[in-house]
Amino acid sequence: MNATTRARCLRAAYARMVVALLPMLLAVILAWRGQSFAALAVFTVAFATVTVGTIIPRCTLFGRMITTLPAGKRHALLTIDDGPHPEHTPAILDILDRHGLKAVFFLIGDRAAAHPALVREIVARGHEIGNHTQTHPAYRFWSLHPVQLWREISACQQTLTSICPDHPPRFFRPPAGHHNMFVPVITRALGLRTLMWSARGFDGVKTDLELITNRIRARLRSGAIVLIHEATPVAVQVAESVAAMIAEAELASTEPLAHTFGGDEVVVEGRGAP
């Protein structure tokens, strides 16, 4: 990636950090002056704001994100995280072909580098690839500082672009949906938009197929963005069930994925994920 772009991005990210720390400085000053209640109030509000913006996946305190399809879209979009997987990806691709669905595969850079042929196959079958970080540090991604975040996101972008140079990722999705105030600065610098979801069944942590599919079914409607995963014990079964559900509901896309989002069309939703 361009060194100038990186330097400008990191300056902007650290500027955000300075601004975020100002309330903490104010709390210290207030406490030093003996205004303990005011200091506690300032600290609590600042801490709560940062915490909410970080742990709630679809919270937009730190920047815009896409959580549903643009207005007027009558279909649902299937998105698949955590691939490619040597067994699951081929099976899921066949399932999607059988049901006439196109999807966005959010790929982990290290896994993509290990299975480049699968990445090319995803694209060859008319699907889109998205940036899901280089190593998928799900439990600590929210706590990474700007340089670490830059490495994770830019490395994945570079990995996927090197494999499919004619189809570089347009979208980013943070691991587990958790992010922090620096992520929007970095994704914007890399030309990425954050694509979240409006329907998920928690198949990344649950294995009850009926529970997973029923939860997605309850939120499946025109304009929905559906999230499922590869690399789980029930990945193929979930893909089959959800693909059939979308097709039966006549919510399969009839347009190329490249036409689903255009320009700066985004729908911002401030509440937490279902």
Q: Is 82 a catalytic residue?
A: no
∠18-196-169 over CA atoms, to 5°?
Answer: 90
Buried b or exposed e, range 91-124, using 16+ CB within 10 angstroms: bbbebbeebebbbbbbbbbebbbebeebbeebbe
∠263-268-273 over CA atoms, to 5°?
Answer: 130
Q: How many residues does the chain have?
A: 274
Catalytic residue among 75, 81, 88, 132: 81
Q: Is 81 a catalytic residue?
A: yes
Catalytic residue among 99, 127, 136, 229: 229
Q: In what order do the strands lie in the sheet with 103-107?
A: 193-194, 171-172, 128-131, 103-107, 77-83, 225-229, 199-200
Give the C-alpha separation, 179 to 185, whole Å: 12
Structure tokens at 86: 């040597």
The residues carrying an active-site annotation are 81, 229
